[in-house]
Amino acid sequence: MNKSTMKAQSPQATAIQPTAPPAKLEQKQPQKQSQPTRRLTVQWPAPVLRFSPTAWAKLLYFRDRQETEIGGFAVTAAEDLLRVEEFVAVKQDVSVASVSFDDQAVADFFEAQVDAGRKPERFARIWLHTHPGGSPQPSATDEETFARVFGACQWALMFVLAQGGKTYARMRFNVGPGGNIVIPVEVDFAASFGPSQRDAWEAEYKANISAGRWSLLDAREDFGRDLGRDFGAPSDLTRRSIPDDWMEELEAMEPAERQLIMDELAGRPDLWGDREEVSYEYF
């Protein structure tokens, strides 16, 4: 056997070629779902005008003392400016259609409250008054008074309690864009409250409330012209206790509402001087 044959039969070394590493499989990451934008919503409790039972009882006592309007100020709690702890009446001239505070009495009341360590927002922001009729809706005079007296305050509240028990409470904001909101009214029995003080309330009523007679006989020219009736009595407008713009308010009313007021007045001969009967027609 020759060398060539031996070479052919001898095993040859096989070169091992390194194999390329397998391609890495890219693992697909799960796509993140886009989360909706979360907005933090804070729900503030709705404002409510709350009366302590004692303050409420005093207001009812003044309302029912006689058939006139009554006005005053609310003294509120330091921790809750919408919780009325006391109703305070100052000197005022009242009638079935108006309340006129004595300026000096209001100034004295404010001074006494400051001396007691109270801030104005506790005693000079909530105006309370009553209506002798069944409607608590503010009159044009109420609106004018509220705007004139409380228009410079950052906030103020007008409250009306009608004879039949209906109420009206409206907050007015005079800062920023401003605005108004009508809020509910409650009597708060949850907190502690004091007893009735009828003797003290009666003394306060007699000391501060001066009720004038609202007589159409004293305004013959005004009412005679607008009611189509000459009442046959000399005019003395200085004794009139109704506001100067009362006739404008009457004219601005809806016919049905105006007639209702006229009918109510016709049934109240004590408001009309010495006459026993009043007959009229209003168109």
Do 57 and 168 belong to one domain?
A: yes
Residues 181 and 258 in one domain: no
Q: Are residues 127 and 248 in the same domain?
A: no
Q: Which of 211, 230, 249 is the last residue of a domain?
A: 211
The b-or-e profile of 12-48 (16+ CB within 10 A means b, else e) is eeeeeeeeeeeeeeeeeeeeeeeeeeeeeeeeeeeee
Question: Which amino acid makes up residue 247?
Answer: M
64 and 139: one domain?
yes
3-state secondary structure of 115: helix
* Pair (99, 199) in one structural domain: yes
Instruction: Name the nearest CA neighbour of 210 among 102, 131, 133, 104.
Output: 102
Same domain, 234 and 187: no
Considering the domain architecture, whether residues 168 and 53 belong to the same structural domain is answered as yes
Is 70 exceeded by the pLDDT of residue 92?
A: yes
Whether pLDDT at 78 is above 90: yes
Question: Are 149 and 267 part of one and the same domain?
Answer: no
146 C-beta neighbours (distance < 10 Å), count: 17
- Domain region containing 169: 49-211
> Residue ranges of the alpha helices (H) in the chain?
3-9, 53-65, 103-115, 120-123, 140-150, 198-208, 220-227, 246-252, 255-266
Q: Give the domain-ending residue among 161, 177, 211.
A: 211
Mean pLDDT, residues 242-247 taken together? 51
Within a domain: 276: no
Q: How far is Cα 172 from Cα 23, in angstroms, rounded to an integer?
A: 75
Single out the residue of 278, 146, 143 nearest to residue 216, CA to CA. 278
2 falls within a domain: no
Give strand ranges (E) for 142-231. 155-162, 167-173, 179-182, 185-187, 209-211
Domain boundary among 159, 193, 211: 211
Q: CA 102 to CA 251: how far, in whole Å? A: 29
Q: Is the pLDDT higher at 280 or at 51?
A: 51
Residue 134 counted as domain residue: yes
pLDDT range class, residue 49, cuts 50, 70, 90: very high
Domain count, the chain: 2
Do the domain assignments include residue 152? Answer: yes
* Dihedral angle computed from the Cα positions of residues 184, 187, 190 and 194, in that order, rounded to the nearest 10 degrees: 150
Query: pLDDT averaged over the chain?
Result: 76
Q: By mean pLDDT, which of 41-55, 119-133, 262-276 is the weakest?
A: 262-276
Contact 75, 118 (CB under 8 A): yes
Is residue 63 domain-shared with residue 130, that is, in the same domain? yes
Q: In angstroms, how far is CA 74 from the centroid of its own chain? A: 13
Q: What is the CA radius of gyration of the chain?
A: 40
Better-predicted residue by pLDDT, 121 or 250: 121
Q: For residue 230, is pLDDT > 60?
A: no
Residue 172 — very low, low, confident or very high, per pLDDT cuts 50/70/90? very high
Asked whether residue 69 falls in the same domain as residue 200, the answer is yes
Q: Which strands, in side-by-side order, build the sheet including 209-211?
A: 99-101, 92-94, 209-211
Q: How far apart, in whole angstroms, are the C-alpha atoms of residue 9 and residue 218?
A: 150
Q: What does the alpha-carbon distance between residue 258 and residue 283 come to, in Å, rounded to a whole number?
A: 10
